[in-house]
Structure 1
């Protein structure tokens, strides 16, 4: 597979951030190849990488929280192993700069699409497994998830801000929020999104910024949750 100097440099930087240097760069190239680019793509690797990821995070949670029940551990794992988390990690290690995408996906900004980033991230875990061994892949996953597990919020049962906001609004019989992209600048690692969160009948609109649409939405939802809890409680006290 032909690789231009720019992508080679980006792949080298990504390996440094992963803390793993590939022996056979072909494994990494396949993990970064979307089906729109070639029939030899990352879909089969994604299948294996999903298992590597789920086992490793499950084991980390099992060891870190010996008093939690199976149900509690499952909910925490689901909050950590999902498209949003994987896309966030992919953005932080600049994976998007390394992707092999077809012309259509390139034009539509596929290098910044959460689903593509998440799938490639899982494929990278599998690629490390095949290039080295399971223990090595496990160590890479551990290094990427250790801080997230250490700081997991038990009071929210691992739920993200958008889920918490939805539940808070439904509990108070209010309509669900509406998210809108107010501004988008830059591309790839330089991309910035400004997203608004509109609580409709409550008359509150918050805005937040992030280097992906999802991150900006989560930040706006977090502000909305704080506003709702404070102001709705105050209104109740006045009645």
Structure 2
């Protein structure tokens, strides 16, 4: 009987550990909600499903429902926007020029810089063991924003428009 109680106690401890962050994520604080509203204004994009933006601002250390997949999608959206922009300007652009534009838009250092300008480190949710000012955290959340926009809008056009809105707002250096 004691072994069964220990097993049940262990099960509920693990269950609480896994489910508590998701439960907290489901009921964000007023400050977090206000931060999401400000971020949407900075992006020039109003989410139909703010839950996607919440997920974009949730690091894997915080919850099982996190920004990892959105970050991957966002990186691809950023790369596509960069390539499309250059090839639209110059249909004869070289592969090297396209790669350089992609690297400038979606490269790690530029991603971190843009994320800091949006003050993502003040908004992204992480576990107590993880720093919100970590470059990996900032870049992942920044990229996830564009993935979340693409999902919310059902395509890459809105993500591209938001990206250029942010970059043209003082970050873009082309």
Whether TM-score is above 0.5 comes out as: yes
1:125 corresponding residue in structure 2: 146
Q: Could you say which structure has the greater relative contact order, defined with CA pairs below 8 angstroms and 6 or more residues apart?
A: 2
| Deviation string, structure 1 residues 39-95 (Cα, Å, up to 9, x no partner) | 111111112111111101111122234453111221232133211111111111222
Structure with the greater alpha carbon radius of gyration: 1
> For 2:74, which of 49, 55, 63 is the aligned residue?
49
Superposition map of 1:15-164 within 5 A = 15-66=40-91, 68-105=93-130, 110-134=131-155, 135-146=157-168, 151-152=173-174
Unaligned runs of 5+ in 2: 1-25
Query: What CA deviation, in whole Å up to 9, does each residue of 1:9-40 have, x standing for no partner?
Result: 11111111001111111101111111110111
Distance 1:65 1:131 in 2: 30
Runs of 4+ in 1 over 6 A off after TM superposition: none
Of Structure 1 and Structure 2, which has the larger fraction of its residues in strand? Answer: 1
Q: Which has the higher helix share?
A: 2
Q: Supply the RMSD in Å over aligned alpha carbons.
A: 1.8
Aligned length: 147
Mind listing any 5+ residue stretches in structure 1 that lack a counterpart?
153-239
